[in-house]
Chains A and B, each alone.
Chain A
């Protein structure tokens, strides 16, 4: 299988008043073309920070310190990978939302409260599909029954825009009130496409929904809109950051089903973040387990559930309630470490039952212990 995105030793810090929060500690994740990769771990272990670092949308006071985020654009792996961390701001703008896009944890907060649903979805097209939008607008202008005043002027403008969208005229026009509305046909076209994608996601009466504002919609609807925004330009990689955590169980199942369905039709890979191990078992091909900012174990999901190797993974799986539960639920002893002063060596060692002398001295490397199964633990160091 070919890789689509890979992080190498990603390190991200937050410079807060309490000190430097070392949120990520050399995280290495690989997602392949065509697979669903699950990322699990306790709350606060850095799942969101990992994917946000990958898309370079960490908010201040956070900063990606070192590492690489390699994006493999074509499936055959012939083309050179691009390191997203080295790219310019404008490259990231053209990449985010087009090749990679993200669904967010909180549908309530993820939408702009004072912008209509349709406009928010249309923005994806406006920023990534300028060419085809201006083409469609030109077509409309050229149609016989098109009634637009100053048709000739608009035709010229749109033709010019189609050829060179960065021309000086458009920069000038965008600063003049009223004249900055010259692109209304493009906006209408983008809105039309937004309505299309919204209805594709199984929302009835998409035209009516598109002119509504987020507060008029239910949580599940909002999450679908957030998904619509992410899917608008058919990305290669969709990152779903706990897309279902805040929804009730039925809606959750619907959304997961929707994602599965969309993966078949439109997108290549999904990076699914969740702390619901059931969801992982059901949907993911491979799983990565994170603890306190570092990756402890990566394996195919069947392998991971059948043969968990890292002490933390074992503890995590044991703490899931089972139907035939006997006795009290097992919990992991101790607390999640403070990431301002994380434990030296393996970050899990203070809570680990199999602690050895070396554990608080050296950071364990991620070692392959089986087919597609890697563990970062000193227990496996000798093998």
Chain B
């Protein structure tokens, strides 16, 4: 048996090794995104700095200024140098440097995910567990049909339907991040409301303005609901099939023959085993939602990462897209690290080496 001290050492070494690996991933991704945007040619890229036809005459000058005619390796090294110093370029759609815009939009997406991720994990695993236990009963059939609807309806359609019902029919849960009067209050009272995190729910609490928190939660309801339903639909089915597979295993019979009650069998023996494959999927889904759901953010008028990314893609705001690729690479590496640690925690057969 490992001593705690030794375990901490192993964990440390593992995490450091994996974070070291992160550098290589970022290097690879940066090479890839740089190459893709390089394929546009100097003129096209210079055009990005031009707003009007009159300025078109500046293009040769711009090319020279930014060194767009330099050889590929020179430009790539220059790019690497800049991102190493934290300069990710200028976002046209946000009209400010990419990093500043990112820090501005990120809290809004994180705030949404702060609700979405725990909810979809808890609900998805619970529903899937029940469906697996009650396989081939009405409960199973109903949740199956709902899950099929949930994931086959496009998210935007789903968001629109919910908005139509709640806001359109009953006037509840308007799409925005805050009500107009609350927003005005924040603008008018910069001394009473200090922006700590950029998340209204948390800043509301930190400033002692619980009205703001409550208002923000009300505005989060529909977007969270939309996203949770869509993701739960996937996760639930994964959990169900994993449960069904585990329930038919022999150790379940051993436990039954031991006289263990079915609640303990399901919750202690089967569920923990069934979770092992589900962790990967849940982690990937959580990582994906860090990108911000474009449909949800657009329809509910939330200015988060997804919204920004959608506009950037439409306007060919290359710096933003290149930056987001790097960001998602980091997110996925970190998520996979967390997944691996969870694996090792749940499954003793896995060694961290």
Contact = CB atoms under 8 A, between A and B. Distances in A.
B256 interface: yes
B96 interface: no
Contacts of A52: 253
A211 B346 CA distance: 15
Contact of B269 (A93, A95, A112): A112
Nearest to A211: B1
Nearest to A99: B259
B256 A57 contact: yes
Interface residues of B, number: 25
A65 interface: no
B181 interface: no
A101 B258 CA distance: 7
A96 B253 contact: no
Most buried by A among B250, B262, B276, B349: B250
Given A93-B261, A113-B348, A114-B273, 16 more contacts: A55-B256, A57-B256, A59-B252, A94-B259, A96-B256, A96-B259, A104-B253, A104-B257, A111-B254, A113-B273, A113-B349, A127-B258, A213-B348, A215-B348, A229-B258, A230-B257
A33 B278 CA distance: 48
B250 A109 contact: yes
Interface string A228-240: 0110000000000
Interface in A71-116: 89-90, 92-98, 101-102, 104, 106, 109-116
B250 A97 contact: no
B258 A123 contact: yes
Interface centre among B253, B257, B262 (most CB of A within 10 A): B257
Interface in A37-56: 52, 55
A124 B250 contact: no
Nearest to B270: A112
Contacts of B259: 92-98, 124, 127-128
Contacts of B272: 114-115
B231 to A, nearest CB: 24
B86 to A, nearest CB: 41
Contact of B1 (A98, A101, A208): A208
A190 interface: no
Closest 7 CB pairs of A and B: A97-B259, A109-B250, A213-B348, A97-B258, A112-B251, A102-B257, A96-B259
A366 interface: no
16 contacts: A52-B253, A55-B257, A59-B252, A93-B259, A101-B257, A101-B258, A110-B250, A110-B254, A113-B273, A113-B349, A115-B269, A127-B258, A211-B1, A215-B349, A226-B254, A229-B258
A110 B258 CA distance: 11
Contacts of A230: 257
Interface string B327-353: 000000000000000000011110000
B257 A57 contact: yes
B137 to A, nearest CB: 11
Contacts of A94: 259
Interface string A218-256: 000000001001100000000000000000000000000
Contact of B251 (A59, A90, A110, A215): A110
Contacts, number: 84
A106 B268 CA distance: 21
B255 A112 contact: yes
Contacts of A226: 254
A142 to B, nearest CB: 29
Contacts of A115: 268-269, 272
Nearest to B248: A59
B348 A114 contact: yes
Contacts of A123: 255, 258, 260
B249 interface: yes
Interface string B308-328: 000000000000000000000
B22 to A, nearest CB: 29
B174 to A, nearest CB: 37
Contacts of B256: 55, 57, 96
A89 B265 CA distance: 14
Contacts of B250: 104, 106, 109-110
B253 A93 contact: no
A114 B346 contact: yes
A270 to B, nearest CB: 15
A198 to B, nearest CB: 15
A112 B252 CA distance: 8
Contacts of B260: 93, 97, 123, 127
A127 B264 CA distance: 11
B261 A127 contact: yes
B254 A229 contact: yes
Contacts of B273: 112-114
Contacts of A106: 250
A114 B347 contact: yes
Interface string B222-262: 00000000000000000000000000111111111111111
A96 B349 CA distance: 30
Given A114-B347, A208-B1, A211-B1, A124 B258 contact: yes
A89 B272 CA distance: 24
A352 B257 CA distance: 37
A101 B261 CA distance: 15
Contacts of B254: 104, 110-112, 226, 229
Contacts of A93: 259-261
A229 B261 CA distance: 16
B177 to A, nearest CB: 33
B342 to A, nearest CB: 13
B276 to A, nearest CB: 8
B99 to A, nearest CB: 40
Nearest to B253: A57
A363 to B, nearest CB: 30
B352 to A, nearest CB: 15
A123 B261 CA distance: 11
A62 to B, nearest CB: 11
Nearest to A58: B253
A226 to B, nearest CB: 7
Interface string B140-159: 00000000000000000000
B176 to A, nearest CB: 37
B271 to A, nearest CB: 11
Given A57-B256, A109-B249, A110-B250, A213 B349 contact: yes
